[in-house]
Structure 1
Amino acid sequence: MKNAETKKMREEIKKHLTEGIIPFWKGMRDDEFGGYYGFLDYDLNLDKKAEKGCILNSRIIWFFSNAYTLLKDESLLDEAKHGYDFLKDHCLDKEYGGIYWSLNYDGTPKDTTKHTYNQAFCIYALSSYYEASGDAEALELAKKLFTLIETTCMDEVGYLEAFTRDFKPESNEKLSENGVLADKTMNTLLHVFEAYTELYRVSGDEKVRRRLLWIMDVFAEKVYNPKLHRQEVFFDKHYNTILNLHSYGHDIETAWLIDRGCKVLDDPELTQKMYAI
Structure 2
Amino acid sequence: MQTDLKNLKTELKLELQSILSYWMENTIDTKNGGFVGQIDYRNNTNNEAEKGSVLNARLLWTFSAAYKISNNKEHLETAKRAFEYISEHFYDKEFGGIFWSINHNGTPKDTKNQIYALAFVIYGLSEYYSVTKDGKALEMAIALYQKIQKYSYDAVNGGYLEAFTRDWLPIEDLRLSEKDANEKKTMNTHLHIVEGYANLYTVWKDKSLLKVIIELLETIEKYFINTETGHLRLFFDENWVEKKDVISYGHDIEAAWLLLQCAEISGDSTLIENYKKHAIQIADVTKDGIDSDGGLWYEYNPETKELMAEKHWWPQAELMIGYYTAWQLSGKQEYLDIVFKNWDFTKKYIIDKEKGEWFWGINSDYSTMEKDKAGFWKCPYHNSRACIELIHRI
Is the pair's TM-score, using the shorter chain for normalization, greater than 0.5?
Answer: yes
Aligned to 1:240: 241
Q: Give how far 1:136 is off.
A: 1.2
Structure 1 counterpart SS, 2:39: coil
Per-residue CA deviation, residues 23-78 of structure 1 (Å, 9 max, x unaligned), is 11102111332211110111101111111001100000101101111111111111
Aligned to 2:100: 101
C-alpha separation between the residues in 1 aligned to 2:213 and 2:188? 15
C-alpha separation between the residues in 1 aligned to 2:179 and 2:75? 40
Aligned to 1:264: 265
Does the 8 Å CA contact 1:34/1:83 hold for their aligned counterparts?
Answer: no
Q: Give how far 1:229 is off.
A: 2.3
C-alpha separation between the residues in 2 aligned to 1:155 and 1:122? 21
Percent identical pairs in the alignment equals: 37
Aligned to 1:114: 113
Deviates more, 1:186-195 or 1:242-251: 242-251
1:144-183 matched pairs, under 5 angstroms: 144-156=143-155, 157=157, 158-175=159-176, 180-183=181-184
Aligned to 1:74: 73
Q: Which one of 23, 26, 33 corresponds to residue 21 of structure 2?
A: 23
Letter in 2 for 1:29: I
Structure 2 counterpart SS, 1:76: helix
Q: Normalising by structure 1, report the TM-score.
A: 0.94
Q: Give how far 1:171 is off.
A: 2.3
C-alpha separation between the residues in 2 aligned to 1:49 and 1:88? 21
Aligned to 2:228: 227
Gaps of 5+ in 2: 279-394
Aligned to 2:205: 204
CA 1:80/1:155 → structure 2, altered by over 3 Å: closer, same or farther? same
Does the 8 Å CA contact 2:214/2:268 hold for their aligned counterparts?
Answer: no
Does the 8 Å CA contact 2:114/2:176 hold for their aligned counterparts?
Answer: no
Aligned to 1:129: 128
Q: Give how far 1:177 is off.
A: 5.8
Aligned to 1:91: 90
Letter in 2 for 1:55: V
Higher RCO, 1 vs 2 (CA within 8 Å, ≥6 residues apart):
2
Q: Give how far 1:225 is off.
A: 1.9
Letter in 2 for 1:21: I
Q: Give how far 1:178 is off.
A: 6.2
C-alpha separation between the residues in 1 aligned to 2:126 and 2:67? 14
Per-residue CA deviation, residues 178-237 of structure 1 (Å, 9 max, x unaligned), is 684201111111110110110011212222111110011111212222222222111011
Structure 1 counterpart SS, 2:46: coil
C-alpha separation between the residues in 2 aligned to 1:273 and 1:23? 39
Does residue 188 of structure 1 match 2:189? yes
Structure 2 counterpart SS, 1:105: coil
Q: Give how far 1:258 is off.
A: 1.0
Letter in 2 for 1:13: L
Aligned to 2:284: none
Structure 1 counterpart SS, 2:32: coil
Structure 1 counterpart SS, 2:77: helix
C-alpha separation between the residues in 1 aligned to 2:161 and 2:107? 26
C-alpha separation between the residues in 2 aligned to 1:40 and 1:98? 27
Aligned to 2:330: none
Deviates more, 1:161-170 or 1:177-186: 177-186
Aligned-pair Cα RMSD in Å: 1.5
Gaps of 5+ in 1: none
Structure 1 counterpart SS, 2:243: coil
Q: Normalising by structure 2, report the TM-score.
A: 0.67
Does the 8 Å CA contact 2:153/2:161 hold for their aligned counterparts?
Answer: yes
Aligned to 1:49: 48
Does the 8 Å CA contact 2:217/2:263 hold for their aligned counterparts?
Answer: no
